[in-house]
Structure 1
Amino acid sequence: MVDALLPRAWVMRALYLALCIALLFLHLLPLAHTPPKWAGPDLVMALTFAWAVRRPDYVPVLLVGLVALGLDLMLQRPPGLWAALMVIGTQTLRNRASALRDLTFAAEWASVASSMIVMTVANRVILAILMVDQAPLGLSLMQLMSTLIAYPAIAFLSHALFGVRKRAPGDLDPAGMRP
């Protein structure tokens, strides 16, 4: 019934936006009275990358940019820097998606990990060049590691709960064309 009214890609884009808003809401909830001793994963980045590798049409570049910019503003990060890095990282993974389609999950994870590492290093270098205060290196590395560890769970949940699967070699897009 939903496919008759809206194409699946639009439904999944709305679901992606809703999940990102829910993750932001959970991140901003004051659940503890003391600062945490560890930096949690960036679940929005893991979700975005999992969907970009598996179904790039579900996370268009404009939507990723707007979500990341909104996160920058809400989390009081330098506006635009992490959003630009997220767009570049997502586009890099989107370009590799067809090559990763036939490979194992380990290859996908390694590709995502390399993008995350490059983004984190680029963020720290740019902030250092501009002499902007930034979190200690240990916290940035801790967040990177926890995001890398959380990625398989996010990819599994995306696959199991939301049906975000890699395209098979013979799959056609809704217009009947090969992607």
Structure 2
Amino acid sequence: MEDTSPLRLWMYRLSFVLVGMVFILWAIIPFDLSAGSLPVPDIFYCITMALIVRRPEYVPIWSIFAVFFMRDILTQAPLGLATLLIVMGSEVVRGNIQAFREYIFGLEWLWMATIFVAVTLVQHVLLLLTLSSAPRLVEQVLLILFTVIAYPVTVGVMKYAMGITKPRPGVTDAWGKRL
């Protein structure tokens, strides 16, 4: 049995929300006021998806919803659109967790990239259909590219610096449920 007590589990969940708030604050603080700056990769998407594959009990659906909805509010994005799409993408991964754990990293990376492309493009199309202001397509493509490149770096940091890996077969959580 894994040595994750319920208290430690809640500390991980709280840490996820706090890291999300740090990334939101990082996004809304104006560091560069030049008009032609490149988009920043969505590192928190990478963290969320990597944690769902490795330790889904650390990121329950309510925490994903809370952080991404707060991001929509504070960045003045269309309220709940990105949140809904990311929650749907995360639940696709969570629903197929055993398959994702058996994949080699390249296939996992391809799936995360596909989900992010789908989320970004559906969001872009919905914004265009509702005649809302949408980011330029070039910016969206660069955002996709940078986020896809950032995913393996995020997983590497989680694995080698933080020790968060995919669970071994037969490992259980604090309540005896098989991971």
User: What TM-score do the two structures reach when normalised by structure 1?
Assistant: 0.91
Which structure carries more relative contact order (alpha carbon 8 Å, separation 6+)? 2
Letter in 2 for 1:149: I
Equivalent residues of 1:68, 1:83 under 8 A apart: yes
Return 5+ residue gaps in structure 2 as ranges: none
Equivalent residues of 2:93, 2:100 under 8 A apart: no
Instruction: Give the equivalent residue in structure 1 for 2:30.
Output: 30
Aligned-partner Cα distance in 1 for 2:97–2:108: 9
Instruction: Give the equivalent residue in structure 1 for 2:121.
Output: 121
Q: CA deviation at 1:44?
A: 1.3
SS of corresponding position for 2:102: coil
Alpha-carbon RMSD: 1.7
1:77 aligns with 2:98: no
1:101-156: CA deviation from partner (whole Å, max 9, x where unpaired): 12211111011111111111111111122111101000011111100000111111
Aligned-partner Cα distance in 2 for 1:3–1:173: 7
Equivalent residues of 2:54, 2:165 under 8 A apart: yes
Percent identity over the alignment? 27
SS of corresponding position for 1:101: helix
Instruction: Give the equivalent residue in structure 2 for 1:100.
Output: 100
Q: CA deviation at 1:19?
A: 1.0
Equivalent residues of 2:4, 2:173 under 8 A apart: no
Equivalent residues of 1:53, 1:96 under 8 A apart: no
Equivalent residues of 1:39, 1:139 under 8 A apart: yes
Instruction: Give the equivalent residue in structure 1 for 2:144.
Output: 144
Q: For residues 1-179 of structure 1, what are the structure 2 equivalents within 5 Å?
A: 6-179=6-179
Runs of 4+ in 1 over 4 A off after TM superposition: none
Aligned-partner Cα distance in 1 for 2:105–2:33: 38
Return 5+ residue gaps in structure 1 as ranges: none
Q: CA deviation at 1:78?
A: 0.3
Equivalent residues of 2:4, 2:174 under 8 A apart: no
Equivalent residues of 1:101, 1:168 under 8 A apart: no
Aligned-partner Cα distance in 2 for 1:24–1:178: 33
Q: CA deviation at 1:36?
A: 4.5
Equivalent residues of 2:89, 2:119 under 8 A apart: yes
Aligned length: 177
Check 1:160–1:141 CA distance in 2 against 1; reply closer, same or farther (3 A cut).
same
Letter in 2 for 1:178: R
Aligned-partner Cα distance in 2 for 1:48–1:36: 28
